[in-house]
């Protein structure tokens, strides 16, 4: 790799700065196996956060400002419609909202299909 250096003095700060020109980098052609070599088990311990979307409520700022305790927001989904399980903004599954002990849960009913490239 070749480079050119041009030194200049910055009289205000008393520092010397240098302009560096680098030759264009030509990456080598890929060689060898893929990153994971089909061993997806390496990803098993990577933590992810899932979001469960029950529905969306559309409103105006005025309506939001007038909300009080016991106000209701009507969602865009019917009560028996499945909820979306999302990962990084994409739906990965759908299911039914259930109660497990004192917590909400989702019973998975459909898994998203893998898109073929």
55-113: pLDDT as tens digits = 999 999 999 999 999 999 999 999 899 999 999 999 999 999 999 999 999 999 999 98
Specify the 3-state DSSP secondary structure of 93.
strand
- What was the pLDDT predicted at 38? 79
- Domains of the chain with bracketed CATH: 49-117 (2.30.330.10)
Nearest to 110 by CA among 100, 91, 87, 99: 91
- Output the six-digit token pair for 56: 């969306």
The residue whose two tokens read 């893929």 is: 34
Please tell me the distance from the alpha carbon of residue 8 to that of residue 17, in angstroms, as a whole number.
6
Using left for φ > 0, alpha for ψ between -120 and 50, and beta otherwise, residue 82 falls in: beta
What pTM was estimated for this model as a whole? 0.62
Residues 5-63: tens digit of each pLDDT: 555 555 556 778 888 888 888 888 888 878 777 788 889 999 999 999 999 999 999 99
Q: What is the DSSP letter of 61?
A: H
């Amino acid at each position: 790799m070749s480079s050119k250096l041009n030194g200049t003095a910055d009289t205000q700060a008393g520092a010397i700065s240098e302009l560096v020109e680098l030759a264009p980098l030509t990456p080598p052609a890929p060689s060898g196996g893929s990153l994971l070599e089909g061993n997806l088990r390496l990803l098993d311990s990577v933590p992810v956060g899932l979001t469960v979307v029950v529905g969306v409520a559309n409103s105006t700022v005025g309506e939001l400002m007038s909300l009080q305790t016991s106000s209701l927001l009507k969602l865009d989904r019917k009560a028996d419609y499945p909820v979306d399980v999302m990962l990084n903004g994409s739906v990965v599954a759908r299911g039914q909202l259930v109660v497990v002990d004192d917590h909400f849960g989702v019973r998975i009913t459909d898994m998203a299909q893998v898109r073929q490239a």
